[in-house]
Structure 1
Amino acid sequence: MSAQRLVATDLDGTLFSSKHTCSAANLAALRMLGECGVIRVIATGRSIYSARKVLPLDMPIDYLVFSSGAGVIEWPTQQMLRAAHLSAEDIRQTAQVLIEHQVDFMVHAPIPDNHYFWYYATNRENPDFLRRLNWYREVAAPFDESVWNLERACQFVAIEPAASGVAMYERVRPHLEPLTVIRATSPFDGESFWLEIFPNGISKASACDWIAQQHQIRQTDTLAIGNDYNDLALLAWGGASYVVANAPADLHAIYPAVASNDADGFSEAINLWINH
């Protein structure tokens, strides 16, 4: 197996089980990749603060791509390599669009403190928005005039009930160009519609491509594994790509599937890739 290869995997719902743990089989697969000289990347929507809560310092990976590509850390040294931010104008325009369209949202502080956020609530019935707000209550503050004066922010997270999520996306997306707008499924209730808004060009795929270039790894020598819509750019980028069995059905129509995140789908994908 060539050393000039790279594996990029989503974390929650892909590498991690539903209990947010990494199985022995998946850990063994990561260690085997390291022994073979393969670059190992976790690409997650979690902030660096949140990722550090679940990933030990001795996690057998080389890089962490966090906040869906807004940041990159070399994991063994914990050195921050890249951090992208929305500009003051991006913040103002995005907030105006979401407020005008009556969308509940959070705007996150700059990296590395992007677990802190300000929230704008329309007071419509939106249980998942309240669920996220209550979960992170200690780092949340209500939207106020200070937000309009922010010079930088990491991202926006807009949350909509599943029944109206696609309509909300279609309504606001044209007004947000050229920013990167990523669709995701709520990690809380597994069905609500999340819209994550980042600087133009930011994604898990662009961050992983940057890492591959640092190591002179060809795109054809990469593997991507994911489980949700926010992994679509990463899956499209991978030279080979798999989704786990718990991914939405329409992703199965595009990419070959392996076992679920609760049945070591990650290690299965690694074995298929190695033996292809």
Structure 2
Amino acid sequence: MTWLPQMVALDIDGTLVDHSGVLPARVGDAVAQAVGAGAVVVLATGRAFLDAKPVIDHLALPPGPHLASNGAVVVEHPPTTITHVTTFDPTDVIHRVHELAPAACIAVEDVGRGFRLNKLFPRDELHGRMRIESIERLCAKPATRVIVRDPDSQEQDFLRLADQLGMHGVSYSVGWSAWLDIAPEGVNKATGLARVSAAAGIDPADVLAIGDGRNDLEMLRWAGRGVAMGDASWEVREAADDVTANFDDDGTALELERWFSFGSRGVSRLRSA
């Protein structure tokens, strides 16, 4: 094999860690080997940066760029410096969501600090300072994204909600649970990675991206090699150049080991800060 990734873009949930926050040590070892080989490792996540930072720190990644909020926020870490933020007016979206799903929790990110929200999300799903506000006050400032969550609904309910919203000027991404991210149109992990790779002088053809969610579709199509997790949905697997093993079968490590050498195996538990 003559091709070697110069940049590795990694989704977090379902790719690096499971939904209980467990990061397999084999995956951590493989990421470390990629760093040791000189690859630029970029975490590209739908999480806010405060929720992504514990993973970056746990992996002991060197100073460099990472994408949060599905590419709307670019952060250099460590030390933490926010280098780019894309926002939009959330007024119409928030009112429409509240009309269609009045029981849902709605949040907007206060970048680098926490969230403003109409009611609290389930425990440990968001981190940082939480400020409860009225729907009208949530609309008062530009937002990087609007997050909609209803623990009593199913994923299919949120797919229908996204279809019902059907608003121009925004894009939708339904997560693994009843979770909907609404972002500025044309802003996604691919646009964030294009910004980061251009700044680093790395051609997209030399980027390896691994992910498992609908918010990874653009990233997997954009990268020179886009790889879906084996347990990703069919549409994510269809968007990828290749499919690795399931998360529980160390799919991320297997793909990284294809290009970089490999260390020890085991499991370490990642705790959110």
> TM-score, with normalisation over the residues of structure 1?
0.80
Number of the residue aligned with 2:221: 236
**Number of paired residues?**
253
| Alpha-carbon distance, 1:212 to partner | 0.5
Aligned to 2:155: 162
Q: 1:58, CA displacement in angstroms? A: 6.0
- Give me the CA root mean square deviation: 2.8
Change (3 A) 1:109 1:257: closer
| Contact 1:4/1:37, CA 8 A, preserved across alignment | no
Q: Please give the alpha-carbon distance, in whole angstroms, between the structure 2 residues aligned to 1:70 and 1:145.
A: 23
Note closer, same or farther for the CA distance 1:260–1:81 as it changes in structure 2 (3 Å cut): same
Number of the residue aligned with 2:165: 172
Q: Cα 1:132–1:225, aligned 2, differ >3 Å: closer, same or farther?
A: same
Q: Which has the higher contact order (CA 8 A, sep 6+)?
A: 2
Which amino acid in the other structure matches residue 61 of structure 2? P
Measure how far apart 1:6 and its partner are.
Answer: 0.9
- Matching of residues 119-130 of structure 1 within 5 Å: 119=118
For structure 1, the residue ranges without an aligned partner over 5 or more in a row are 121-129, 187-191
Q: Deviations over 1:77-110 (max 9, x none)?
A: 3222212222xxx222212222333352413143
Counterpart mapping for 1:47-196 below 5 A: 47-56=48-57, 59-60=60-61, 62-86=64-88, 90-102=89-101, 104-113=104-113, 115-119=114-118, 132=122, 139-148=130-139, 150-159=140-149, 160-173=153-166, 175=167, 177-186=168-177, 192=178, 194-196=179-181
User: What is the match of residue 206 of structure 2?
Assistant: 221
CA distance change for structure 1 residues 251 and 54 in 2, over 3 Å: closer, same or farther? closer
Counterpart in the other structure of 2:269: none
Once residues 263 and 134 of structure 1 are traced to their aligned partners in structure 2, the CA distance between those partners, rounded to angstroms, is 26
Q: Distance in 1 between matches of 2:90 and 2:193?
A: 25
| 2:45 corresponds to | 44
User: How high is the TM-score relative to the length of structure 2?
Assistant: 0.80
The letter of the residue matching 1:164 is D
Q: Distance in 2 between matches of 1:266 and 1:134?
A: 25
Q: Which has a greater percent of helix?
A: 1
Q: Distance in 2 between matches of 1:10 and 1:100?
A: 32
Evaluate the alpha carbon distance shift between residue 164 and residue 17 of structure 1 in structure 2; reply closer, same or farther with a 3 A threshold. closer
After superposition, the Cα gap between the structure-2 partners of 1:147 and 1:16, relative to the gap in structure 1 and judged at 3 Å, is: closer
Change (3 A) 1:205 1:102: same
Report the alpha carbon displacement of residue 2 of structure 1 after superposing the two structures with TM.
Answer: 7.2
Q: What secondary structure is seen at the aligned counterpart in 2 of 1:29?
A: helix
Q: Tell me, which stretches of 5 or more residues in structure 2 are unaligned?
A: 262-273
Aligned to 2:255: 269
CA–CA distance in structure 1, aligned partners of residues 4 and 162 of structure 2: 41
Corresponding residue SS for 1:116: strand
Verify the 8 A CA contact 1:109 1:152 in the aligned structure 2. no
Post-superposition shift, 1:135? Answer: 5.3
